[in-house]
A and B are shown apart, each in its own frame.
Chain A
Amino acid sequence: MNSPATTAIEPLPTVKPDRLPLMLLPVLALVALPLIGSASTWVTLTFAGLAMGMIIFIIASGLTLVFGLMDVLNFGHGVFITLGAFMATSVLGLMTGWTTSTSLLLNLVAVLAAMLVAMSVAGGVGAVFERVIIRPVYGQPLKQILITMGGMIVGEELIKVVWGPEARPLLLPTAFQGSILMGEAAVEKYRLISVVLGLIVFAIMTWVLTHTKVGLLIRAGVHDREMVESLGYRIRRLFIGVFVVGSALAGLGGVMWGLYQQSVIPQLGSQVNVLLFIVIIIGGMGSVTGCFIGAMLVGLLANYTGFLAPKVALFSNILLMVIVLLWRPEGLYPVGKK
């Protein structure tokens, strides 16, 4: 056997992993500490920010992959959040006995049931949304923006038809209420649960993306979908799968957001939508890791500025996006698309 290419072996350049964006999180937290002044308040705000960031990540992760795979800008993503949250009001409304019980197990079962139903319904509606609204406008960005925004408005109105236009309470189950003391800092139990749940979702997503063939295909498809098709894989099927999972995750995020706010309004999705796009733009569109860091930054900054300067909090995320894009115009972890 010939070894024709032996002479072509040269050592590869060493490239250090890009950890700078990761460092933004501790830097932001440490900068906030002296400004806040009190360590206990800082701990409370940091957990609140992380919890908010985790929920935003769960919602936005599907959106960023949908864009990465097919360049689809889905401005209707918010409707799955609202749908998930309202489904939770119905499911938990039917299980009041379970949610008001002092049994942690019964509370957990009730919340898990609400999450599963919300994810299933949001995923199912996501499949229909992809078929009816997204598919006719593949490769037409302007039409995508217009029609998905239209889909969002129609979805919101349909939710009002089913559940009414008023805010609906979504109370935390008994065992999830209250706080845990960490030294002098009080951290709400639900925020801790949100952080843990968010980390679990991130870990599962990272594992799927790095240890399975489907994950490999998604990562490759985000980079160069034409080549993935040339290797014999149907990228559209993959996209539908990602869209449905992304919608289901948005539904899960909706339940978590609703429980975080303890009430749900039909405009929930359109309100959160702005944050989602800030997060995926900051992270680098198509990047799950970037989306995670972007979500954490947005969550932390919103809570710190909300405490330090409430008026600044209104535009702090826009300011964050401007600063990040001035530093890295394609986001924290740009996806090298073909």
Chain B
Amino acid sequence: MSEPLLQLQGVHTHIGAYHILQGVDLTVPKGELTVLLGRNGAGKTTTLRTIMGLWQVSAGSVTFEGENIGLLATPDIAQRGIAYVPENMGIFSDLTVAENMILAARNAKRAEDMDAKRLEWVFGLFPAMKRFWQHPAGLLSGGQKQMLAVARAIVEPRKLLLIDEPSKGLAPAIIQNMITAFQELKRTDTTILLVEQNFNFARQLGDQVAVMDGGQIVHSGTMADLAGDEGLQQRLLGLSLASHQ
């Protein structure tokens, strides 16, 4: 495992009266893809939102590149090189695909200001973005919106991508496309923390895995170990890989 880029130590998060994260310890190694698995309500999305500063840390620390970012405001966290793709994709549906991308490229005022080479690379991953460049994002299909959400996160080089359930609600063919895109992304040594419920999807991408339950990390290790141990899958996730194939 390479050196950690992001570390959560004893992180607690309260949302109103609810105590959601109850001492999360999580390490995300640099240049690897870490998958956060767990059933509904385990605290996966809250973990991503807490890292992003969208929920306040009640106790514990969130360390990114050696700096505690736990109490920083969301824009400050984003400016440190962390991109977030929320579960609802966060697409600005009244804006065009181009305008969505310009917003993500913080120093670009117009499409011409964006890094053309990088943009072509993104178009290579998601050709639909080029084709529908001037179309309102609200008209895109669910899969295309998910592609736009990921494309927006990578339109500029980021140090860490936080991606929440990218396969949710997508057709199998599009999920396969998404897997190929993520594999391409992994080749660029981008660090990714991916929340996922689809174990088959996660298994094909993950280097590391952490499993959450009841607001805590109950298992962490390599994906290869978890994928090869049906008993562990059964115990942690209540399923086996065989049931997904």
Contacts and interface: CB of A to CB of B under 8 A. Distances in A.
Interface of A: 1-10, 12-13, 15, 212-213, 216-217, 219-220, 223-224, 226-235, 335-336, 338
Among A4, A7, A220, A228, chain B packs the most CB atoms within 10 A around the CB of A4
Contact of A9 (B54, B104, B127, B181): B127
Contacts of A5: 125-128, 147, 174, 177-178, 180-181
A83 to B, nearest CB: 32
A223 B132 contact: no
Interface string B80-102: 00011010101011110001001
B75 A3 contact: no
B90 A224 contact: yes
7 contacts: A8-B144, A8-B147, A8-B177, A213-B102, A229-B73, A230-B90, A233-B106
A194 to B, nearest CB: 30
A212 B103 CA distance: 11
A10 B173 contact: no
A226 B92 contact: no
B150 to A, nearest CB: 10
Contacts of B141: 8, 10
B157 interface: no
Enumerate the 8 nearest inter-chain pairs by beta-carbon distance, A residue then B residue, closest first: A4-B180, A232-B78, A227-B90, A229-B74, A1-B124, A5-B177, A4-B181, A220-B92
B139 interface: yes
B169 to A, nearest CB: 14
B190 to A, nearest CB: 16
Nearest to A227: B90
Contacts of A336: 93-94, 138
B52 interface: yes
A230 B127 CA distance: 25
Contacts of A216: 95, 99, 102-103
A10 B174 CA distance: 12
Contacts, number: 118
Contact of A230 (B52, B109, B140): B52
B136 to A, nearest CB: 8
DSSP class of A's interface residues: helix, strand, loop or mixed?
Answer: loop
A333 to B, nearest CB: 10
Interface of B: 52, 54, 73-75, 78-79, 83-84, 86, 88, 90, 92-95, 99, 102-104, 106, 108-109, 121, 124-128, 131-132, 135-136, 138-141, 143-144, 147, 152, 173-174, 177-181, 184
Nearest to B162: A230
Contacts of B131: 9
Contact of A12 (B135, B147, B177): B135
Contacts of B126: 4-5
Contacts of B147: 5, 8
B95 A8 contact: no
B93 A12 contact: no
A226 B128 CA distance: 26
B124 A230 contact: no
Contacts of B140: 12
Contacts of B143: 8
A125 B121 CA distance: 49
Contacts of A9: 127-128, 131, 144
A219 B128 CA distance: 24
Contacts of A338: 88, 90
A205 to B, nearest CB: 16
A231 B100 CA distance: 10
Contacts of B73: 229, 234
Contacts of A15: 136, 139
A220 B180 contact: no
